[in-house]
Structure 1
Amino acid sequence: MFTKLELEKYARTLWWGLSTARTGQFKPGEFVLVRFDLDALPLAETLFDLIIEKGLVPVPRMNLSPNMEVSFYGKGSQEQISAVPAGDAEFTGNLAGLISLIAPASLTHLKGVDPSKIGRAAVARKFLRDIMEQREISGDFGWSLCAWPTKAMADASGLSLDEYAEQIRKACFLADDDPAATWARVFEDAQEVKAWLNGMEIKNLRIESEHTDLIVDPGQDRRWLGVSGHNIPSFEIFLSPDWRGTEGVYFADQPSFRSGNLVRGVRLEFKEGRVVRSEAEEGADFVAKQLGMDEGACRLGEFSLTDRRFSRIDAFMANTLFDENFGGEHGNCHVAVGASYADTYAGDQRELDAAKKAELGFNESALHWDLVNTEKKTVTAELKNGKKVVIYDDGEFKY
């Protein structure tokens, strides 16, 4: 699907993403975890070689196969699925980087598994994510991820495998002579948008489309982030709001695959920051169980907008990495229920402990689930001085 040259370009693009995402400089001999699904082995091998060239130590780890996941979550006892191997915390605490290559061989194999068991496994391992988050704040760790085309994703999206690969090729600029240089230019354009948004004193945001009317409180001491190298591709501009100020209705017209389940037409009604009613055209029971995973699962962790002028993605990809960055005719907005991103705190990251997070309304959860709206929409910012400004309309930022 990809030539040797395209594989090398993809690997160099991921290196740009990783080195951009990490605020500290890499040092020779540091460890970089390469986590991959089996189908992505050609890219994993190319990336392994590049990391060796950079003087770092690649640590390859293959994800569980679909059969392994069915066995683990289906047959595993609560003790088994909650167990964390000795040494994982020490290993995570010494990582300098992580690159994940997403290439699922199946999207539906976990459909018959109790989602609460998947949730318990995520909760048990959340402390590892917390370790990485703290290392990222100190500049000692960075991460990036990408997708590799598989038949499972192509079939779920309604594309042929070649069409799916072409979407990846377009979205990641792999046909360009130097994709990393193209990404650097997108990065600079996004910097301009973020500076414009961060210069506003926004009291709240109102998102209006045919089926959505939602109020979001950006929160105190927040900053807009995006195009940071963390995701390849990524065109979104986002923040983690104060979950307590979420009111109204949000509708995700784009389908979503999660834990083997397909959901369509998710409608969430928020009151005083929490989802008080959820509906779905398909997968309603699964949605309800996800929202009940833990105390923070029914609260908002992220609000995001994508400018259609940045993104070349114009097809449903059955993969959140691409779908949350959909450009298409009207761009997109998405919200995530569950965990917030601590790096959207505008102050000194080192002071953002659990108490400070709670004070500022940063949400805590083992869940982080992106739900995408691609309808034509208007986003209006009410400023603290009472003025109202349209910041986004029909797929474009109005800066």
Structure 2
Amino acid sequence: MADERVVKLAHILVNHSLRVQPGEKILISGSTSAIPLIKEAYRAVLKAGGHPHTNVEVPGLLGTFLREGSEEQLSYAGWQELLFYHMDGYINILSEENTKDLTNVESWRTTARSKARRPALEHLMADKAKWVLTKYPTQGYAQDAEMSLEELEDFIFGATNVDYAEIERSMLAAAARFDAASKVRIVGSNGTDVTVDIEGRKGIVAAGRHNVPDGEFYYTPNFRKTEGTIFFEWPTTYKGREISGIRLTFREGKVVEASAQKGEAFLFEALDADEGARYLGELGIGANFGIDRPTKDILFDEKIGGSIHLALGQAYEKGGPDGNVSVIHWDIVKGLKDGGEMYLDGELVQKDGKWVF
């Protein structure tokens, strides 16, 4: 008998996130570790009248591809384009068993793959097809979060299976304040004092359409105008590698100084991926107060109520005109519950992670 939590999550993905309509072609992608959710999502698409197609991945094959593929093979994305450009909706289920599998892959190999996938990624980021990303609990994720598998299941399903309509109402009120402002100043621990320009931008309220769990609103900043320094206490994992203690200093939008207490070499590899990698593509405000702790998982951490995140690299087209362009999009999260403050055009709007309006 299926776990009712999995059934509910599949219902959210198909009927709330994608709002699948009769006749739509829906791709469901995940590894063999996520078969229970893949099955329930497949069943839910059928009930909605859609045409489901699955892309079930074997754990470890991506690592084999990246380590052993030639430059020509790494630069080929034909299979992905064949699927992405002919579907109406995409359910991507993250379900890694070994989250460190790519740790020692040479950076040029991952960069080559990212460049090859960029057209398909831009296709999705421009909302030319519906898409949603979620996560299924695995032993690998449990180890990263320092939880048992059962604890992680409770954490994930508790975060995903929520009332997104209520979360959306609360975020709309906060986003209205930001929409009317030009400059967002973030002040916090370890010398953080950074200002991001969002003049002329309108916030995108994310309430379970593209990410599940969800609960953030975000902006495509005027990326040439970021000024100041920010320190990220929470560790982050990017392309299978853990980086922590990141400090970034911006001048005229560009990262001109950078350091990390762990993984600094990889930080610089990411910053040097291309010209756009040193500029911001996103300012995000976490607003899901049901997620109360970081787990080194960006899908959850960036939604934490009382946090902000900055994304280096590619901007989302719908977030505003003249957005940054890059082969990377790397979200890095900072908590503001311990002495943090946020100002809109000089007016205090959040203190210690709580709204003050």
State the TM-score, normalizing by the size of structure 1: 0.84
Give the corresponding residue for 1:350. Answer: none
SS for the counterpart of 1:369 is strand
Identical aligned pairs, as a percentage?
Answer: 26
**Structure 2 contact 124–131 (Cα < 8 Å) conserved:** no
Letter in structure 2 aligned against 1:31: K
C-alpha distance in 2, partners of 1:373/1:119? 26
Q: State yes or no: 1:92 paired with 2:63.
A: no
1:60 match: 54
CA distance in 2, matches of 1:219, 1:338: 19
What amino acid does structure 1 have at the position aligned with 2:231? F
1:334 to 299, 309, 328: 309
Q: Which of 172, 194, 218 lines up with 1:191 in the alignment?
A: 172
Q: Which residue of 2 aligns with 1:366?
A: 327
Q: CA deviation at 1:166?
A: 1.1
Aligned to 1:291: 271
Structure 1 residue 37 corresponds to structure 2 residue 31: yes
Corresponding residue number in structure 2 for 1:7: 6
Give 1:398 shift.
3.2
Between the aligned partners of 1:230 and 1:248, the Cα distance in structure 2 is 31
Alignment check: 8 A CA contact 1:306 1:395 kept: no
- 1:272 aligned partner: 252
**Distance change in 2, residues 1:3/1:59 (3 Å):** closer
User: C-alpha separation between the residues in 1 aligned to 2:11 and 2:112?
Assistant: 36
Partner of 2:139: 151
SS across alignment from 1:98: strand
Please state how far the C-alpha of 1:3 moved relative to its aligned partner: 5.2
CA distance in 2, matches of 1:221, 1:166: 37
Aligned partners of 1:90 and 1:159: how far apart in 2?
A: 38
Instruction: Compute the displacement of 1:50 (Å).
Output: 0.6
For 2:28 and 2:280, the matched residues in 1 are separated by 30
Other-structure match for 1:49? 43
2:106 maps to amino acid: D
Q: Which amino acid aligns with 1:364?
A: V
> Which residue type is aligned with residue 379 of structure 1?
M
Residue 294 of structure 2 corresponds to which residue in structure 1?
316
How far apart are the structure 2 equivalents of 1:336 and 1:127?
A: 19
Change over 3 Å in CA distance of 1:101–1:205 after alignment to 2: same
Query: 1:63–1:256: structure 2 CA closer, same or farther, 3 Å change rule?
Result: farther
Residue in structure 1 matching 2:159, options 171, 184, 187: 171
Q: Is the alpha carbon distance of 1:204 and 1:293 closer, same or farther for their aligned partners in structure 2, counting shifts above 3 Å?
A: same
**1:258 aligns to what?**
238
Which runs of at least 4 in structure 1 moved beyond 4 Å after TM superposition? none
Partner deviation per Cα, 1:76-96 (whole Å, 9 max, x = no partner): 12111001226x435422321
Looking at structure 2, the residues matched to 160 and 14 of structure 1 have their Cα atoms a distance apart, in angstroms, of: 25
User: What is the identity, as a one-letter code, of the residue corresponding to 2:119?
Assistant: F
C-alpha deviation, 1:64, in angstroms: 5.3
Unmatched tracts of structure 2, length 5 or more: none
* Superposition CA RMSD, Å: 1.9
Where does residue 183 of structure 2 map in the other structure? 204
* Other-structure match for 2:213: 233
Write the distance in 1 (CA, Å) between the matches of 2:331 and 2:284.
10
Instruction: Work out the number of aligned pairs and report it.
Output: 354
Q: Which residue does 2:117 correspond to in 1? A: 125
Separation in structure 2 between the aligned mates of residue 226 and residue 390 of structure 1, nearest angstrom? 23
Cα pair 2:17 2:208 within 8 Å, conserved:
no
Question: Aligned ranges for residues 338-357 of structure 1 at < 5 Å?
Answer: 338-345=313-320, 357=321
- How far apart in 2 are the matches of 1:369 and 1:53? 36
Aligned to 1:215: 195
Structure 1 residue 314: Cα displacement: 2.2
Question: For residues 397 and 37 of structure 1, do their structure 2 counterparts lie closer, same or farther at Cα, with a shift above 3 Å needed?
Answer: farther
> Which of the residues 248, 268, 281 maps onto 1:301?
281
Q: Distance in 1 between matches of 2:302 and 2:125?
A: 22
Q: Distance in 1 between matches of 2:239 and 2:197?
A: 30
